[in-house]
C-alpha cells in the first residue's frame, strides 16, 4: 500500500514527537524510556493506517505498542487517525523498513511481533520481500524476548502456507493455528485491522501464533 506522495507528510510527522519516534536508532535497547510506564513492548510491522495499533493500545493499556510503517505517506494517515482518539500514552509509531529491524531494536527487547495482512508479493522472484521470509525471521528471533510471540493474520493462503514453511525451518513452536479466524473462538479477542475489515467478507482469515524455541545469536 503506497499512497500518493504527500510532501506535507514528513513535516506533519515531525510536529508530533509525542507519538512519532523520529530517530529510532537512537533508542536501540531503550524504547521503554519513551513511554510513561515501563511495561511489555509489542510491535506491529507494516501497520498501514493504524487501526490495529489504535485498537490494541486502547484495549491493553498495560502494554506498550510501537507501530512500524515503511512509508511516511501511510504513517501520516495513521497519525491523523491516532490524533483523533483520546490520548494513547502507550502508543508510538515510526517510519522504518523492517528489512533493517535489527538495527533499531536490541536483543530481546520486544515481547511480541504482529504481522497483519503483510504484502503477499505473489511473484515468485519477489518471495524474499515477504515479511516472513527466512532473513526477516532471523531478525525477529533476535529482537524477541525468550518465548516472545509472533502473530500473523492474512487472507492470502499462499502467504500463509509460505510463512508456515519458512517458520518450520526454525526451532519454533506453533501455539495456535486457525484456518478461519472469524468463525473460531479466538474471534472473541480479535482486534480488526483495516485490511481485515475490507477483505474478511470475501473469504477466511488465516492466523497463526508461534514462538521461537530460543533466541538467535
Ligand X SMILES: C[S@@+](CC[C@H](N)C(=O)[O-])C[C@H]1O[C@@H](n2cnc3c(N)ncnc32)[C@H](O)[C@@H]1O
Report d(CA 102, CA 84) in Å as an integer.
31
Q: Which is nearer to ligand X, 74 or 210 (CB)?
A: 74
- 102 in Cβ contact with 143 (< 8 Å): yes
Q: Is 74 in the site for ligand X (CB under 6 A)?
A: yes
Least separation in angstroms between residue 210's CB and ligand X is 18
Least separation in angstroms between residue 37's CB and ligand X is 25
Q: Which is nearer to ligand X, 158 or 214 (CB)?
A: 158
Question: In sequence order, which ranges of the chain are alpha helices (DSSP H)?
Answer: 7-14, 51-59, 72-83, 134-143, 157-167, 194-199
The residues near 19 (Cβ < 8 Å, ≥ 6 apart) are: 79, 82, 83, 88, 91, 92, 93
Report d(CA 138, CA 133) in Å as an integer.
9
Least separation in angstroms between residue 161's CB and ligand X is 18
Q: Is 54 in the site for ligand X (CB under 6 A)?
A: no
Q: Is 99 in the site for ligand X (CB under 6 A)?
A: yes
Active site residue: 72, 97, 103, 119, which one?
119
Q: How many residues bind ligand X (CB under 6 A)?
A: 21
Helices vs strands, H then E, count in the chain: 6, 7
Report d(CA 33, CA 4) in Å as an integer.
34
Cell numbers at 155, concatenated: 487472507
Q: Which of 70, 112, 130, 207 binds ligand X (CB under 6 A)?
A: 70
Q: Is 180 a catalytic residue?
A: no
Q: Which of 64, 73, 90, 116 binds ligand X (CB under 6 A)?
A: 116
Q: Which of 19, 31, 42, 48 binds ligand X (CB under 6 A)?
A: 48
Cell numbers at 148, concatenated: 516472545
Q: Which residues pair with 113 in a beta bridge?
A: 43, 150
Report d(CA 78, CA 83) in Å as an integer.
9
Q: Is 144 in the site for ligand X (CB under 6 A)?
A: no
Q: Which of 19, 27, 105, 117 binds ligand X (CB under 6 A)?
A: 117
Q: Is 42 in the site for ligand X (CB under 6 A)?
A: no
Q: Which is nearer to ligand X, 90 or 154 (CB)?
A: 154
- 116 in Cβ contact with 107 (< 8 Å): no
Q: Is 97 in the site for ligand X (CB under 6 A)?
A: yes
Active-site residue set: 119
List residues near ligand X by CB under 6 A. 1, 45-48, 68-71, 74, 97-99, 116-119, 193-196
Amino acid at each position: 500500500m503506497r499512497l500518493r506522495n504527500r510532501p506535507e507528510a514528513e513535516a506533519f510527522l515531525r510536529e508530533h514527537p509525542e507519538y512519532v519516534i523520529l530517530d529510532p536508532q537512537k533508542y536501540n535497547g531503550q524504547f521503554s524510556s519513551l513511554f510513561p510506564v515501563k511495561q511489555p513492548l509489542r510491535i506491529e510491522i507494516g501497520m498501514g493506517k493504524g487501526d490495529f495499533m489504535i485498537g490494541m493500545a486502547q484495549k491493553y493499556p498495560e502494554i506498550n505498542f510501537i507501530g512500524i510503517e515503511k512509508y511516511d505517506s501511510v504513517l501520516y494517515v495513521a497519525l491523523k487517525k491516532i490524533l483523533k482518539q483520546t490520548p494513547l500514552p502507550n502508543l508510538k509509531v515510526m517510519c522504518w523498513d523492517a528489512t533493517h529491524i535489527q538495527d533499531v531494536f536490541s536483543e530481546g527487547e520486544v515481547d511480541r511481533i504482529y504481522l497483519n495482512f503483510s504484502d503477499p508479493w505473489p511473484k515468485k522472484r519477489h518471495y524474499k520481500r515477504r515479511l516472513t521470509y527466512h532473513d526477516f525471521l532471523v531478525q525477529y528471533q533476535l529482537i524477541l524476548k525468550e518465548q516472545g510471540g509472533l502473530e500473523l493474520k492474512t487472507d492470502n493462503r499462499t502467504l500463509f502456507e509460505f510463512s508456515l514453511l519458512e517458520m518450520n525451518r526454525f526451532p519454533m513452536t506453533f501455539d495456535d493455528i486457525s484456518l478461519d479466524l472469524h468463525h473460531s473462538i479466538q474471534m472473541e479477542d480479535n482486534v480488526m485491522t483495516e485490511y481485515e475489515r475490507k477483505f474478511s467478507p470475501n473469504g477466511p482469515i488465516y492466523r497463526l501464533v508461534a514462538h521461537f524455541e530460543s533466541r538467535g545469536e
